[in-house]
Structure 1
Protein backbone atom coordinates (compact mmCIF):
# COMPACT_ATOMS: atom_id res chain seq x y z
CA UNK A 1 0.00 0.00 0.00
CA UNK A 2 1.39 3.39 -0.97
CA UNK A 3 1.16 6.52 1.18
CA UNK A 4 -1.55 7.81 -1.17
CA UNK A 5 -3.55 4.60 -0.81
CA UNK A 6 -3.18 4.68 2.98
CA UNK A 7 -4.24 8.33 2.97
CA UNK A 8 -7.44 7.37 1.11
CA UNK A 9 -7.99 4.43 3.46
CA UNK A 10 -7.78 6.75 6.49
CA UNK A 11 -10.90 8.52 5.21
CA UNK A 12 -12.78 5.52 6.60
CA UNK A 13 -11.40 5.97 10.13
CA UNK A 14 -13.91 7.59 12.45
CA UNK A 15 -14.39 7.96 16.20
CA UNK A 16 -15.62 4.37 16.56
CA UNK A 17 -13.37 2.09 18.54
CA UNK A 18 -13.96 -0.64 15.97
CA UNK A 19 -12.52 1.39 13.05
CA UNK A 20 -9.54 2.67 15.02
CA UNK A 21 -8.74 -0.83 16.23
CA UNK A 22 -9.10 -2.26 12.72
CA UNK A 23 -6.54 0.18 11.32
CA UNK A 24 -4.24 -0.18 14.34
CA UNK A 25 -4.15 -3.94 13.72
CA UNK A 26 -3.54 -3.29 10.02
CA UNK A 27 -0.45 -1.24 10.97
CA UNK A 28 0.82 -3.86 13.40
CA UNK A 29 0.35 -6.65 10.87
CA UNK A 30 2.07 -4.55 8.17
CA UNK A 31 4.93 -2.66 9.87
CA UNK A 32 6.02 -1.22 6.52
CA UNK A 33 2.88 0.96 6.66
CA UNK A 34 3.83 2.66 9.93
CA UNK A 35 6.30 5.17 8.37
CA UNK A 36 3.57 6.08 5.87
CA UNK A 37 1.08 6.53 8.72
CA UNK A 38 3.54 8.85 10.48
CA UNK A 39 4.11 10.77 7.26
CA UNK A 40 0.35 11.42 7.13
CA UNK A 41 0.20 12.18 10.86
CA UNK A 42 2.84 14.88 10.38
CA UNK A 43 0.93 16.54 7.51
CA UNK A 44 -0.13 18.82 10.36
CA UNK A 45 -2.54 21.06 8.43
CA UNK A 46 -4.38 18.20 6.74
CA UNK A 47 -7.79 17.02 7.97
CA UNK A 48 -6.61 13.38 7.70
CA UNK A 49 -3.70 13.98 10.11
CA UNK A 50 -5.90 13.46 13.21
CA UNK A 51 -7.16 10.16 11.80
CA UNK A 52 -3.57 8.96 11.47
CA UNK A 53 -3.00 10.12 15.07
CA UNK A 54 -6.02 8.12 16.29
CA UNK A 55 -4.74 4.97 14.58
CA UNK A 56 -1.21 5.51 15.91
CA UNK A 57 -2.58 6.02 19.44
CA UNK A 58 -4.58 2.77 19.26
CA UNK A 59 -1.54 0.98 17.88
CA UNK A 60 0.63 2.21 20.78
CA UNK A 61 -2.07 1.43 23.32
CA UNK A 62 -2.35 -2.11 21.96
CA UNK A 63 1.45 -2.64 22.02
CA UNK A 64 3.67 0.24 23.09
CA UNK A 65 6.76 -1.53 21.70
CA UNK A 66 5.53 -0.88 18.15
CA UNK A 67 6.59 2.77 18.55
CA UNK A 68 10.22 1.92 19.33
CA UNK A 69 11.59 2.08 15.74
CA UNK A 70 9.80 5.43 15.30
CA UNK A 71 10.69 7.19 18.57
CA UNK A 72 13.09 9.59 16.82
CA UNK A 73 10.58 10.56 14.13
CA UNK A 74 7.69 10.82 16.58
CA UNK A 75 9.47 12.87 19.24
CA UNK A 76 11.19 15.11 16.69
CA UNK A 77 7.92 16.05 14.96
CA UNK A 78 5.22 15.85 17.63
CA UNK A 79 5.54 19.50 18.66
CA UNK A 80 4.37 20.49 15.14
CA UNK A 81 0.95 18.90 15.72
CA UNK A 82 -1.64 21.62 16.34
CA UNK A 83 -5.10 20.39 15.28
CA UNK A 84 -7.06 19.68 18.49
CA UNK A 85 -8.17 16.22 17.38
CA UNK A 86 -4.54 15.25 16.66
CA UNK A 87 -3.02 16.85 19.78
CA UNK A 88 -5.08 14.64 22.13
CA UNK A 89 -3.78 11.29 20.80
CA UNK A 90 -0.21 12.62 20.66
CA UNK A 91 -0.46 13.67 24.33
CA UNK A 92 -1.92 10.25 25.14
CA UNK A 93 1.01 8.50 23.42
CA UNK A 94 3.40 10.61 25.52
CA UNK A 95 1.56 9.39 28.61
CA UNK A 96 1.83 5.75 27.41
CA UNK A 97 5.59 6.24 27.00
CA UNK A 98 5.97 7.85 30.44
CA UNK A 99 3.98 5.07 32.10
CA UNK A 100 6.03 2.36 30.40
CA UNK A 101 9.30 4.13 31.16
CA UNK A 102 8.51 4.61 34.85
CA UNK A 103 6.89 1.20 35.29
CA UNK A 104 8.26 -1.05 38.02
CA UNK A 105 8.40 -3.95 35.55
CA UNK A 106 11.21 -4.21 33.06
CA UNK A 107 10.24 -3.40 29.46
CA UNK A 108 11.70 -2.39 26.11
CA UNK A 109 10.66 1.28 26.39
CA UNK A 110 13.07 1.70 29.32
CA UNK A 111 15.92 0.67 27.02
CA UNK A 112 14.73 2.52 23.91
CA UNK A 113 13.71 5.92 25.30
CA UNK A 114 16.78 8.17 25.20
CA UNK A 115 17.50 11.42 27.04
CA UNK A 116 16.65 13.34 23.85
CA UNK A 117 13.30 11.54 23.52
CA UNK A 118 12.41 12.29 27.14
CA UNK A 119 13.45 15.94 26.81
CA UNK A 120 11.33 16.35 23.68
CA UNK A 121 8.32 14.75 25.39
CA UNK A 122 8.75 16.96 28.47
CA UNK A 123 9.06 20.09 26.31
CA UNK A 124 5.97 19.22 24.27
CA UNK A 125 3.94 18.42 27.38
CA UNK A 126 4.92 21.73 28.97
CA UNK A 127 3.84 23.44 25.74
CA UNK A 128 0.45 21.70 26.01
CA UNK A 129 0.17 22.89 29.61
CA UNK A 130 0.83 26.55 28.84
CA UNK A 131 -0.88 26.76 25.45
CA UNK A 132 -4.60 27.05 24.88
CA UNK A 133 -5.24 23.31 24.58
CA UNK A 134 -8.34 21.36 25.58
CA UNK A 135 -8.51 19.54 28.93
CA UNK A 136 -7.59 16.05 27.65
CA UNK A 137 -4.10 16.94 26.32
CA UNK A 138 -3.46 18.96 29.48
CA UNK A 139 -4.55 16.04 31.67
CA UNK A 140 -2.34 13.55 29.82
CA UNK A 141 0.53 16.05 29.92
CA UNK A 142 0.17 16.61 33.68
CA UNK A 143 0.51 12.89 34.27
CA UNK A 144 3.41 12.54 31.82
CA UNK A 145 5.26 15.43 33.46
CA UNK A 146 4.59 14.07 36.93
CA UNK A 147 6.03 10.68 35.92
CA UNK A 148 9.14 12.12 34.22
CA UNK A 149 9.50 14.55 37.14
CA UNK A 150 10.54 11.57 39.26
CA UNK A 151 13.75 11.50 37.20
CA UNK A 152 14.17 15.19 36.37
CA UNK A 153 14.10 17.19 39.59
CA UNK A 154 13.25 20.50 37.90
CA UNK A 155 9.98 19.21 36.34
CA UNK A 156 7.80 18.93 39.47
CA UNK A 157 8.38 22.53 40.68
CA UNK A 158 7.66 23.89 37.18
CA UNK A 159 4.55 21.72 36.82
CA UNK A 160 3.26 22.73 40.27
CA UNK A 161 3.79 26.40 39.38
CA UNK A 162 1.73 26.06 36.18
CA UNK A 163 -1.02 24.06 37.87
CA UNK A 164 -1.37 26.53 40.74
CA UNK A 165 -1.22 29.54 38.41
CA UNK A 166 -3.86 28.24 36.00
CA UNK A 167 -6.08 26.53 38.57
CA UNK A 168 -8.80 29.19 38.92
CA UNK A 169 -9.13 29.83 35.18
CA UNK A 170 -9.57 26.19 34.15
CA UNK A 171 -12.45 23.72 33.89
CA UNK A 172 -13.58 21.46 36.71
CA UNK A 173 -11.91 18.53 34.90
CA UNK A 174 -8.58 20.37 34.90
CA UNK A 175 -9.02 21.32 38.56
CA UNK A 176 -9.73 17.73 39.61
CA UNK A 177 -6.68 16.37 37.79
CA UNK A 178 -4.49 19.27 38.97
CA UNK A 179 -5.47 18.66 42.63
CA UNK A 180 -4.61 14.99 42.23
CA UNK A 181 -1.21 15.72 40.65
CA UNK A 182 -0.35 18.48 43.16
CA UNK A 183 -1.14 16.10 46.02
CA UNK A 184 1.17 13.49 44.49
CA UNK A 185 3.96 16.06 44.01
CA UNK A 186 3.70 17.18 47.65
CA UNK A 187 3.69 13.54 48.82
CA UNK A 188 6.89 12.77 46.84
CA UNK A 189 9.22 15.68 47.60
CA UNK A 190 12.71 15.50 46.16
CA UNK A 191 15.52 14.74 48.63
Structure 2
Protein backbone atom coordinates (compact mmCIF):
# COMPACT_ATOMS: atom_id res chain seq x y z
CA UNK A 1 0.00 0.00 0.00
CA UNK A 2 1.29 3.48 -0.79
CA UNK A 3 -0.01 5.27 2.28
CA UNK A 4 0.88 8.73 0.98
CA UNK A 5 -1.54 8.28 -1.92
CA UNK A 6 -4.23 6.23 -0.19
CA UNK A 7 -4.53 8.03 3.16
CA UNK A 8 -7.75 10.03 3.08
CA UNK A 9 -7.82 13.67 4.13
CA UNK A 10 -10.62 13.15 6.61
CA UNK A 11 -10.76 10.92 9.65
CA UNK A 12 -12.79 7.76 9.34
CA UNK A 13 -12.90 5.14 12.07
CA UNK A 14 -13.13 2.33 9.53
CA UNK A 15 -10.18 3.71 7.57
CA UNK A 16 -8.15 4.17 10.76
CA UNK A 17 -8.77 0.53 11.70
CA UNK A 18 -7.82 -0.62 8.19
CA UNK A 19 -4.52 1.29 8.38
CA UNK A 20 -3.78 0.02 11.91
CA UNK A 21 -4.41 -3.53 10.71
CA UNK A 22 -2.04 -2.92 7.79
CA UNK A 23 0.70 -1.43 10.03
CA UNK A 24 0.33 -4.26 12.58
CA UNK A 25 3.60 -3.39 14.35
CA UNK A 26 5.65 -3.30 11.15
CA UNK A 27 8.48 -0.74 11.28
CA UNK A 28 8.41 -0.48 7.47
CA UNK A 29 4.68 0.25 7.36
CA UNK A 30 4.98 2.67 10.28
CA UNK A 31 7.77 4.46 8.38
CA UNK A 32 5.30 5.14 5.57
CA UNK A 33 2.89 6.66 8.07
CA UNK A 34 5.64 8.83 9.51
CA UNK A 35 6.61 9.98 6.00
CA UNK A 36 3.07 11.31 5.64
CA UNK A 37 3.19 12.80 9.15
CA UNK A 38 6.34 14.82 8.37
CA UNK A 39 5.38 15.79 4.80
CA UNK A 40 4.10 19.36 4.98
CA UNK A 41 1.11 20.68 6.91
CA UNK A 42 -2.08 19.30 5.42
CA UNK A 43 -5.15 17.40 6.57
CA UNK A 44 -3.32 14.16 5.75
CA UNK A 45 -0.55 15.08 8.23
CA UNK A 46 -3.14 15.69 10.91
CA UNK A 47 -4.86 12.38 10.18
CA UNK A 48 -1.49 10.60 10.21
CA UNK A 49 -0.81 12.18 13.62
CA UNK A 50 -3.98 10.63 15.02
CA UNK A 51 -3.10 7.22 13.60
CA UNK A 52 0.42 7.57 15.04
CA UNK A 53 -1.12 7.84 18.53
CA UNK A 54 -3.07 4.60 18.03
CA UNK A 55 0.08 2.86 16.79
CA UNK A 56 2.19 3.98 19.74
CA UNK A 57 -0.54 2.91 22.17
CA UNK A 58 -0.19 -0.59 20.69
CA UNK A 59 3.45 -0.77 19.56
CA UNK A 60 5.43 1.84 21.47
CA UNK A 61 8.77 0.56 20.13
CA UNK A 62 7.89 1.95 16.69
CA UNK A 63 8.44 5.58 17.75
CA UNK A 64 12.07 5.20 18.90
CA UNK A 65 13.73 6.04 15.56
CA UNK A 66 11.60 9.19 15.23
CA UNK A 67 12.04 10.82 18.65
CA UNK A 68 14.60 13.40 17.55
CA UNK A 69 12.73 14.25 14.36
CA UNK A 70 9.47 14.62 16.32
CA UNK A 71 11.08 17.05 18.74
CA UNK A 72 12.82 19.08 16.05
CA UNK A 73 9.60 19.18 14.03
CA UNK A 74 7.97 21.02 16.94
CA UNK A 75 10.25 23.96 16.13
CA UNK A 76 8.59 24.35 12.71
CA UNK A 77 6.54 27.47 12.15
CA UNK A 78 2.81 27.22 11.59
CA UNK A 79 2.31 23.69 12.82
CA UNK A 80 -1.32 22.73 13.14
CA UNK A 81 -2.50 22.09 16.69
CA UNK A 82 -3.19 18.44 15.82
CA UNK A 83 0.48 17.90 14.97
CA UNK A 84 1.70 19.64 18.13
CA UNK A 85 -0.90 17.98 20.36
CA UNK A 86 -0.26 14.45 19.13
CA UNK A 87 3.50 14.91 19.20
CA UNK A 88 3.65 16.11 22.80
CA UNK A 89 1.10 13.46 23.73
CA UNK A 90 3.47 10.77 22.47
CA UNK A 91 6.55 12.39 24.01
CA UNK A 92 5.01 12.57 27.50
CA UNK A 93 5.01 8.77 27.77
CA UNK A 94 8.36 7.77 26.33
CA UNK A 95 11.98 7.97 27.39
CA UNK A 96 13.64 10.96 25.79
CA UNK A 97 17.36 10.76 24.96
CA UNK A 98 19.38 13.01 27.27
CA UNK A 99 20.85 15.10 24.45
CA UNK A 100 17.30 16.23 23.53
CA UNK A 101 16.17 17.19 27.04
CA UNK A 102 17.13 20.86 26.71
CA UNK A 103 15.45 21.39 23.34
CA UNK A 104 12.29 19.64 24.49
CA UNK A 105 12.14 21.58 27.76
CA UNK A 106 12.50 24.85 25.88
CA UNK A 107 9.70 23.93 23.46
CA UNK A 108 7.39 22.78 26.24
CA UNK A 109 7.99 25.86 28.38
CA UNK A 110 7.18 27.97 25.29
CA UNK A 111 3.90 26.09 24.77
CA UNK A 112 3.02 26.25 28.45
CA UNK A 113 3.69 29.99 28.65
CA UNK A 114 1.79 30.88 25.48
CA UNK A 115 -1.66 32.22 26.43
CA UNK A 116 -3.11 31.26 23.05
CA UNK A 117 -1.86 27.67 23.02
CA UNK A 118 -4.50 24.94 23.12
CA UNK A 119 -5.13 23.43 26.55
CA UNK A 120 -4.24 19.87 25.54
CA UNK A 121 -0.86 21.02 24.22
CA UNK A 122 -0.20 22.85 27.49
CA UNK A 123 -1.26 19.84 29.58
CA UNK A 124 0.97 17.39 27.71
CA UNK A 125 3.82 19.92 27.82
CA UNK A 126 3.56 20.33 31.59
CA UNK A 127 3.74 16.55 31.95
CA UNK A 128 6.88 16.41 29.81
CA UNK A 129 8.50 19.16 31.89
CA UNK A 130 7.47 17.38 35.08
CA UNK A 131 9.09 14.19 33.73
CA UNK A 132 12.29 16.15 33.01
CA UNK A 133 12.42 17.45 36.61
CA UNK A 134 13.59 13.96 37.59
CA UNK A 135 16.84 14.79 35.79
CA UNK A 136 16.84 18.56 36.34
CA UNK A 137 15.23 19.44 39.69
CA UNK A 138 15.94 23.12 39.06
CA UNK A 139 13.12 23.11 36.47
CA UNK A 140 10.57 22.54 39.23
CA UNK A 141 10.65 26.14 40.40
CA UNK A 142 9.97 27.58 36.95
CA UNK A 143 7.28 24.97 36.24
CA UNK A 144 5.52 25.65 39.54
CA UNK A 145 5.67 29.40 38.97
CA UNK A 146 4.00 29.09 35.55
CA UNK A 147 1.37 26.63 36.78
CA UNK A 148 0.45 28.73 39.80
CA UNK A 149 0.30 31.87 37.67
CA UNK A 150 -2.06 30.29 35.11
CA UNK A 151 -4.05 28.06 37.46
CA UNK A 152 -6.99 30.43 38.17
CA UNK A 153 -7.53 31.30 34.51
CA UNK A 154 -7.35 27.89 32.85
CA UNK A 155 -9.76 25.06 32.08
CA UNK A 156 -10.68 22.22 34.41
CA UNK A 157 -8.35 19.86 32.51
CA UNK A 158 -5.42 22.20 32.95
CA UNK A 159 -6.18 22.73 36.65
CA UNK A 160 -6.54 19.00 37.25
CA UNK A 161 -3.14 18.12 35.77
CA UNK A 162 -1.47 21.21 37.25
CA UNK A 163 -2.90 20.39 40.68
CA UNK A 164 -1.41 16.90 40.58
CA UNK A 165 1.99 18.25 39.56
CA UNK A 166 1.93 21.01 42.18
CA UNK A 167 1.11 18.48 44.94
CA UNK A 168 4.23 16.41 44.19
TM-score, normalisation: structure 2: 0.83
Cα separation, 2, equivalents of 1:177 and 1:29 = 31
Cα separation, 2, equivalents of 1:119 and 1:146 = 13
Any conservation in 2 of the 1:51–1:86 contact (CA below 8 Å)? Answer: no
Superposed CA offset, 1:130-183 (max 9, x none): 222222121122222111111112221111111111122211221222112111
Gaps of 5+ in 1: 102-112, 185-191
> Structure 1 or 2: larger helix share?
1
Gaps of 5+ in 2: none
* C-alpha deviation, 1:89, in angstroms: 1.1
Match for residue 27 of structure 2 among 28, 31, 36:
31
Cα separation, 1, equivalents of 2:74 and 2:39 = 11
TM-score, normalisation: structure 1: 0.74
> Does 2:91 correspond to 1:138?
no
RMSD: 2.4
Count of residues paired in the alignment: 166
Matches within 5 A, 1:1-191: 1=1, 5-11=2-8, 14=11, 16=13, 19-80=15-76, 82-97=79-94, 101=95, 113-131=96-114, 132-184=116-168
Any conservation in 1 of the 2:41–2:80 contact (CA below 8 Å)? Answer: yes
